Amino acid sequence: MTATPRYAVFGHPVAHSLSPRLHAVFAEQTGIALEYVAVDAAPDGFVHAVRGFFAGGGCGANVTLPHKAAAFALAEVPTPLAQRLRVANVLTRLPDGRLEAGSNDGAGMLADLRRRCAFEPRGREVLLVGAGGAARAAALALLDAGVRRLTIANRTFKRAQALADGLTGPVRVVRWEALDRLEACDLVVNATSAGVLHAAFALPASLASVHTTAYDLSYGPAAQPFLQWARDAGCLSAFDGIGMLVETAAASFERWHGVRPDTDAALRALSAGNRP
């Protein structure tokens, strides 16, 4: 009897992840048998855990905080986009046994912004808060989408500057303590890990106006501090990243199985359940 194909999401922490439930929804939609689990791997054990998973027959994996740079580094075959970003959120075992590193975070974010949030980034003023792997994917996607200007801020200025140095286009970097001197933006994207790590988080209310859309790459409880800031600051609208998760998961599923699942139905299924 053929073994059920195995997939996983690796992160730290990862118990909150909705990816196993989401891939179960996709499997039901498409009639594809699979096993998908969440694996909590601390940074010093990530490479060992991933190699063990694939050596044991794993077919593919998603990767979340804080492992996206490490995922890119351990794979033998990067996609062109992953090569540009130097981070990966999708690992795929190729027929010859090598690991492919891919990135669909940016495309998933743009798809969600346009479809669920009714926000078109082209020609807009955007503030990106954060400078990690998720921020890098978001920054490149926003610039490729034609934003008027992308402003990057991070508590550690050197990390923000390093992110900007790897980008081309209308980019500027501001120091965290200078955020209260910026004018309101069309879009504020939170790409920090503050909510996931239960860290204090606050932004100046002056960054928002009745024309501002706020978007958090995280979802569930991790996004609530930022979404609360957006409501208190008077933003036009505020969204967590559940739609981005669905879009990126669907892209991963299609890469692994050759079938594109119904993302609208999957999002309704998550909303009807007990998602955080």
Per-residue confidence (pLDDT) for residue 40, from 0 to 100: 98
Q: Which of 12, 68, 93, 136 is an active site residue?
A: 68
CATH architecture of 6-103+243-272: 3-Layer(aba) Sandwich (3.40)
**DSSP state string for the chain:** -PPPPEEEEEESS-TT--HHHHHHHHHHHHT---EEEEEE--GGGHHHHHHHHHHTTEEEEEE-TT-HHHHHHH-SEE-HHHHHHT--SEEEE-TTSPEEEE--HHHHHHHHHHHTS----TT-EEEEE--SHHHHHHHHHHHHTT-SEEEEEESSHHHHHHHHHT--SSEEEEEGGGGGGSPP-SEEEE--STTTTT------GGG--TT-EEEESS-GGGGHHHHHHHHHHT-SEEE-THHHHHHHHHHHHHHHHS----HHHHHHHHHHTT--
Strand bridging mode 90-93 / 99-102 = antiparallel
Q: What does residue 185 show for φ and ψ, rounded to 5 degrees?
A: -105, 165
Which two three-digit tokens encode residue 190? 């939170």
Using an 8 Å Cβ cutoff, are 126 and 151 in contact? yes
Same fold, 6-103+243-272 and 106-240: yes
Per-residue confidence (pLDDT) for residue 193, from 0 to 100: 80
Ordered by start, the domain boundaries in the chain are 6-103+243-272, 106-240
Residue 158 is among the residues annotated as catalytic for this protein? no
Could you count the other beta carbons within 10 Å of the beta carbon of residue 54?
A: 20
Per-residue confidence (pLDDT) for residue 276, from 0 to 100: 42
Mean pLDDT by 10 residues, the chain (276 residues): 89 94 97 98 98 97 94 97 95 98 97 97 98 93 98 96 96 96 97 72 92 96 93 96 97 98 94 59
Per-residue confidence (pLDDT) for residue 274, from 0 to 100: 46
Per-residue confidence (pLDDT) for residue 68, from 0 to 100: 93
Which two three-digit tokens encode residue 111? 């798809």
CATH architecture of 106-240: 3-Layer(aba) Sandwich (3.40)
Per-residue confidence (pLDDT) for residue 275, from 0 to 100: 46
